[in-house]
Amino acid sequence: MITKKEWKKALGEGKSDYTAQVLAIEKNIGSFLEFDPGKGKKTAAAFKANYIADDSATAGTSLEGLPFAVKDNIAVKGFSLTCGSKILKNFTSPYSATAVEKLMNAGAVPVGKTNMDEFGMGSSTDDSALGRTNNPWDENRVVGGSSGGSAAAVAAGLAAFSLGSDTGGSVRQPAAFCGVYGLKPTYGVVSRYGLVAYASSLEVVGALSRDINILKEVFEVMRGKDILDNTSVAHPADKNNGESEKLAPLEEGAAIGVLSGNLGLAPAIAESYAASTRALMDLGYKVHEVELPTLEWVVPAYYTIATAEASANLARFNGIKYGLRVSGADNPDDLVRDSRHEGFGPEVKLRILLGTYVLRSGFQDRYYIKSQKIRTAIREDFKKVFDSASAIMMPVFPTQAFPHGEAGLDPFQQKVADKFTSAANLAALPAMSVPTMNIDGLPTGIQFMAPTFREDRLFTLAEKFKDVFPVTTAPVSLKEGGVK
């Protein structure tokens, strides 16, 4: 593991060849759409100079000098903000997201923007219109998605941590594919100001890292109510939340529910899931099997709600306000239609059509309202489970990282496989993907979920698991002591 001290050296004046080392690895991986630590340093310094810092939230954290990578749907002033789409290909952000500002305030430095499935729609990052990202464990395989570039960047040791967005699993699934930690916080706990919206009621800014301690500090720095995002909420443990509560730590021997039933897992995932269940027992937790009867309806509900919201959120990309505009259109209608046709890729078009369809007048009852009912039902399922368990363990995704192209999963198979992750988004719960064992040269991981605001339990479990399943280094990676 690259230490904090080494990371700080990466951005040190003059003597570091961090940029050259990253660019050498990037030839094989392609995690970044833009990489410019020099610009990042200037952006962070300019921000700090003009900001009247409220340091109470960051007191006790030490992200000073750590390089971080940011998914290209989260705004960093002066950097690209493409969402992996042709429609925003040349767009530069005029401002930074609240989460990014908070991290810069704590001393971290944004070094670049990472590749992603277009507008966050996908599970491989192969649905980016702007480039391909390869898995640092096996370049013939995908990194997962949609925050695939952010997962690859930390797995390849190119940044100390990275930011992603998680609407239906987009932080956790690529984290599992790349063997790193991925946190999806409770809905609303991290401001979405500066995150380009895909499905607003489901998504949240999350973070990835190979180092669980860094991830924890990042979360503590990022969270908090933000006047610029009405859906944001104060976290009970916020240091600058007037009524800051001390959350009772997860007890030794606490009850953990393990999702059971026919989960449809690939053999390697089943093996790692069984080993993780044994690990929980060996660590002294009281393990019992749990079921979530609504789980089988989660994917249809997720795709109904997500596409409905996407159809509204993406209406702003019309070739008029910003982004790609075709030339030669005869009238405004043609201009909008042709610009959207030219700018959006096939998966985005499919989802806009689907979302428009489910919202058609007279159809809401059949799809959208029904999906909201499923959303309530899955929330109730979780509530029941949490009556007798402090946290739940379940898989992240049914397979390990799959190959690029035809040999991999088709778009439909990818969607069906979202059931374990998107459940947490429908229920607004915090969830974390935790790396476990490597099988056949590829990482596997498991997922913990906890009640609202109980990210602390996820961190405790992840820390315990670290002793059983140490985090390993991908073959294509900056190694320990490697940041020269």
Measured distance CA(147)–CA(390) in Å, rounded: 28
The CA distances from residue 4 to 62, 212, 483, in Å, are: 9, 12, 11
Report the residue closest to ligand GLN, judged by CB. 170
Question: Residue 272 catalytic?
Answer: no
Minimum distance, C-beta of residue 315 to ligand GLN, in the bound complex (Å): 18
Q: Which of 170, 209, 272, 433 is catalytic?
A: 170
The answer to the question of residue 306 lying near ligand GLN (CB under 6 A) is: yes
Residue of 412, 404, 440 lying closest to 179 (CA atoms)? 440
Least distance (Å) from ligand GLN to the CB of residue 198? 6
Nearer CB in complex with ligand GLN: 8/415:
415
Q: Is 270 helix (H, G, I), strand (E, B) or coil?
A: helix
CA distance linking residue 447 with residue 259, whole number of Å? 10
Question: What is the per-residue binding string for ligand GLN in 194-213, x denoting contact by CB under 6 A?
Answer: ----x---------------
Task: Please identify which of the residues 4, 8, 31, 71 carries the catalytic annotation.
Answer: 71
Task: Give the nearest distance from C-beta 370 to ligand GLN in angstroms.
Answer: 19
Name every residue whose Cβ is closer than 8 Å to that of residue 393 and which is 6 or more positions away in sequence. 256, 257, 258, 259, 276, 277, 280, 446, 447, 448
**Minimum distance, C-beta of residue 199 to ligand GLN, in the bound complex (Å):** 8
Counting beta carbons within 10 angstroms of the beta carbon of residue 48, is it exposed (0 to 12), middle (13 to 18) or buried (19 or more)? middle
The answer to whether residues 208 and 155 touch, using CB atoms and an 8 Å cutoff, is: no
Site string for ligand GLN, 415-454 (x = CB under 6 A): ---x------------------------------------
Binding-residue total with ligand GLN (CB under 6 A): 14
Residue with tokens 């439909």: 412
Given the complex with ligand GLN, which of 2 and 269 has the nearer CB atom? 269
65, 84, 120, 345: which one binds ligand GLN (CB under 6 A): 120
Is 71 among the residues known to form the active site?
yes
Residues 6+ apart with CB under 8 A from 2: 157, 160, 210, 478, 479, 480, 481, 482, 483
Q: How far is the CB of 170 from ligand GLN (least distance, A)?
A: 3
Cβ closest to ligand GLN, residue 169 vs residue 257: 169
Active site (annotated) includes residue 146: yes
Residue 150 as a binder of ligand GLN (CB under 6 A): the answer is no
Say which residue the tokens 């100079």 belong to. Answer: 49
**122 near ligand GLN, rule: CB under 6 A:** yes
Q: Which stretch binds ligand GLN (CB under 6 A): 5-13, 15-23, 64-72, 161-169?
A: 161-169
Q: What sign has the CA pseudo-torsion 463, 468, 474, 479?
A: positive
Measured between alpha carbons, how far is 455 from 441 in angstroms, rounded to an integer? 30
Burial of 391 (0-12, 13-18, 19+ CB in 10 A): buried
Contact 116, 146 (CB under 8 A): yes
Three-state secondary-structure class, residue 345: coil
Scanning 2-10, 167-175, 289-297, 447-455 for contacts with ligand GLN by CB under 6 A, the matching segment is 167-175
Q: Cα–Cα distance between 171 and 434 in angstroms, integer?
A: 11
Question: Could you tell me which of 351, 349, 321, 347 has the C-alpha nearest to residue 335?
Answer: 321
Taking CB under 6 A as the criterion, the residue among 167, 191, 276, 460 binding ligand GLN is: 167
Nearest approach, Cβ of 1 to ligand GLN (angstroms)? 27
Asked whether position 355 contacts ligand GLN by CB under 6 A, the answer is no
Member of 61, 170, 191, 436 binding ligand GLN (CB under 6 A)? 170
Residue 375 CB, shortest distance to ligand GLN, in Å, is 15
**Closer to ligand GLN at the Cβ: 124 or 277?**
124
Stretch that binds ligand GLN, among 165-173, 174-182, 216-224, 237-245 (CB under 6 A): 165-173
Out of 128, 146, 191, 318, name the contact with ligand GLN by CB under 6 A.
Answer: 146
Q: Catalytic positions, please? A: 71, 146, 170
Q: By the criterion CB under 6 A, which residues form the site for ligand GLN?
A: 120-123, 146, 165-170, 198, 306, 418
